[in-house]
A = this chain, B = another copy of it.
C-alpha cells in the first residue's frame, strides 16, 4: 500500500486530509489491504506554531481542525470548531473577568482540558493527539510536527505579535513584515515525523499558508532535510488560486514579503522541496513558467467543496 504523508496547517490541510482519508480507506476504493486494525496509510504532520495558552489551557488550533474534520465533527459553515457548539463556559469565563476574545465552545473546551491535563501529567503532545483522535474515531495518524513548543511570531508595523493575537485578535489585518518561529531551533521532530517523510511513497504539501502553516513545520530541525532527501514523490498544492488565497491572509503576506501573488509565487517558495506543483485550472496559464522552474505541473480543480470534492482532488494527487 502506498504510504502517504501530508504536511498540513488548519482548514486547507484538514480538507485535503479528509479527502485522502476517504480515498485511502479500504471501504472506499477496495484497493487498500488489511482490516480496521491495519495501519492507515495516511500520516498528517501538523503545524503547531499557532498553539497558544488561554485560561491556562493549551490550545492547538491546527491539530484540532484536522482531527475534528477527519472525525466529521467540524463546523463546515464556520470553518473551525465543532458543529452544534454551545458557549456556556465561555460566557461564565467572561463573567469571571476573563478576556474571551478567542471563542471556545463547550465541547471544544473538553479537548483543551484533556490536552492540558495530560501535558501537565508529562505525556507528549504527539501521544495525546493520537489519544484524542482515536477517541473521536479518527483512523489516520495525526502527528504534531514536534512535541516541543514552537510559537509563530508575526512582525508587523505595530511590533511583534503572537500568532493568535495577529490572526484572531487583529483579524490578520496587520501588514506582515516578517515571521519568527520561537523555539524552533531547539525543537525536535515528534516521534514518527522524520520517518513519515523519509519512508513515504508520496509526500503532499497541503494548500495551507506557506508562511504561517508550512514554514513553521519546516523550521523544526530535521524536517526540511527529510523532505529534501526523501525518495518519496513530493507534491504541493497551491493555496493561491487566480491570484487570491482560498482562505486567510496568504495573498497579503506573499505581497508584503515581496513575492508574486500567484501559484507561480508559491512555486518559487517550494523550489527544491517538491517535485510537482498542483495548481488550479484557473492558473493553467502558469503551468509553463512553473515548469520552467523545474517542477512537473498538475492542473486540476483544486477547490475542495464538499467531501466528494476533497476525495476527487485526493484521488488525482494519488494517481
Contacts and interface: CB of A to CB of B under 8 A. Distances in A.
A107 B135 contact: no
A118 B106 CA distance: 20
Interface in A29-74: 55-57
* Copies of this protein chain in the complex: 2
A288 interface: no
Interface residues of A, number: 32
A7 to B, nearest CB: 26
Contacts of A136: 95-96
A109 interface: yes
A131 to B, nearest CB: 7
A93 B116 contact: no
A97 B55 contact: no
Interface centre among A105, A107, A132 (most CB of B within 10 A): A107
26 contacts: A55-B114, A55-B117, A57-B113, A86-B86, A89-B89, A89-B113, A91-B107, A91-B110, A92-B106, A92-B107, A92-B109, A92-B111, A93-B110, A95-B135, A95-B136, A96-B110, A96-B111, A96-B114, A96-B132, A96-B135, A96-B136, A97-B114, A97-B131, A97-B135, A98-B110, A98-B114
Given A88-B88, A92-B106, A93-B113, 8 more contacts: A55-B117, A56-B118, A56-B121, A89-B106, A95-B110, A95-B135, A96-B111, A97-B131
